[in-house]
Amino acid sequence: MLLLVGLGNPGPDYTLNRHNIGFMAVDAIAERHRFGPFRARFEGLAAEGALGPERVVALKPQTYMNESGRAVAAAARFYKVPPARIIVIHDEIDLVSGKMRVKCGGGPGGHNGLRSLDDHLGPDYWRVRLGVGHPGDKDLVSGYVLHDFPKADRPWVGKLIEAVAEHISLLAGGDEAAFMNRVALAMNPPRPKAAKDAASPKQD
């Protein structure tokens, strides 16, 4: 059993916030991999499905970001899932917009959702960090993450979320390096090689 968590805030006012990219990603994963419907459980919304051979419960805590750990801990206790089998997808202001990094363990880095998870679970869970960029001033961070992605950003946001959804089975299977590589290639595909004839000097 794997517990897949997206972080965000509940309600329509927050749906397109930068802080809610974790919810967006989990919704895309559940849709692509045909999970069951989300139902109210564990102070959140939970859906069951599979990623490859792995049985998975997807969870979107409805406790607001600062109390996310309550919902995740309740689900983890029910399914007897250890932290090493929990994957948390969240926004990351210290990454350039559109970049993704994956790691197990670490500190909250000022993220209130991660701080709550650490308080309830300890730090040894997996984090999928989705870059949303930084406003440039730490005093602006709260307002920045609680504002919607501007329309100009939505193409890369959609592309990143779809890439995560398409390749998440690699991470579920334990291959984080392949997962990161596939998502990076999706975001920045290699340029097609020019035909040799086009590259060769023309002769009269």
Pairing status of strand 2-6 against strand 86-92: parallel
Looking at the structure of the chain, the number of domains it has is: 1
Strand partners, 54: 51
pLDDT digits (tens, 9 = 90+) for 185-204: 999 988 887 644 555 555 55
200 in a structural domain: no
Number of residues that make up the chain = 204
Residue 81 belongs to domain spanning? 2-189
52 in a structural domain: yes
143 in a structural domain: yes
pLDDT digits (tens, 9 = 90+) for 150-173: 999 999 999 999 999 999 999 999
2: confidence class by pLDDT, cuts 50, 70, 90: very high
128 in a structural domain: yes
Q: What average pLDDT does the segment 93-117 reach?
A: 96
SS (H, E, C) 120-159: HHCCCCEEEEEECCCCCCHHHHHHHHCCECCHHHHHHHHH
Alpha helices, DSSP H, located in 33-123: 68-79, 112-121
Please state which of the ranges 89-93, 106-110, 153-157, 199-203 shows the lowest mean pLDDT: 199-203
Helices 154-172 and 176-187: crossing angle in degrees, nearest 10, is: 160
194 in a structural domain: no
Q: What is the mean pLDDT of the chain?
A: 94
Catalytic site residue from 19, 33, 111, 167: 19
Q: What average pLDDT does the segment 128-146 reach?
A: 95
Going from the C-alpha of 32 to that of each of 78, 94, 163, 165, 182, the distances in angstroms are: 26, 28, 11, 7, 17
147 part of the active site: no
158 in a structural domain: yes
Q: Any idea what the CATH number is for the domain that residue 150 is in? A: 3.40.50.1470
pLDDT of residue 202: 56
26 in a structural domain: yes
pLDDT of residue 192: 81
